[in-house]
Amino acid sequence: MKRLLVVDDALFMRKLICGVAAEAGWQVAGEATNGEQAVALYQQLKPDLVTMDLVMPVMGGLEALRKIRELDSQAQIVVVTALDQKQALMDSIRDGALDFIVKPFERERVLNLLHKLGATARN
């Protein structure tokens, strides 16, 4: 079963994403509330995918994205954020994000993404 790491400082959003993951047949391996936790948990859990919020306390999502990609150049990270501004998008893509999903997202969008990634072998 595919494993997901959910990163968002809002409990409510994490629950939402976990719900979609369950529907898509993914297991939630862990949840992180800031970028620092995200990096630590990634190393520990080695999930198949990470959903990454951008605006978080302690360490933001862009920095966490960069750090995780440094640790693992194959890391699959999808940015999920309300901040739909040019700089954020460009930085995310440049730093290796797989996709950039704007909140509030359509449930379908995330479901489709998880189904697609679930079907392909990790590599």
Residues of this chain that interact with other proteins (CB under 8 A) are: 9-13, 15, 55-57, 81-88, 103-104, 106
| CB nearer other proteins, residue 33 or residue 76 | 33
- Contact present, 74 and 55 (Cβ < 8 Å): no
Cα separation values, 17 from 10, 22, 64, 87, 103, Å: 11, 9, 19, 25, 11
Min CB(121)–other proteins separation in Å: 34
Min CB(87)–other proteins separation in Å: 4
| CB nearer other proteins, residue 23 or residue 72 | 23
Query: What b/e string do you get for 72-88 counting C-beta neighbours within 10 Å, with b at 16 or more?
Result: eeebbbbbbbebeeeeb
Min CB(50)–other proteins separation in Å: 19
Min CB(101)–other proteins separation in Å: 13
| CB nearer other proteins, residue 47 or residue 61 | 61
Of 70, 51, 62, 48, the C-alpha closest to 91 is: 62
| CB nearer other proteins, residue 45 or residue 102 | 102
Rounded distance, CA 117 to CA 29, Å? 16
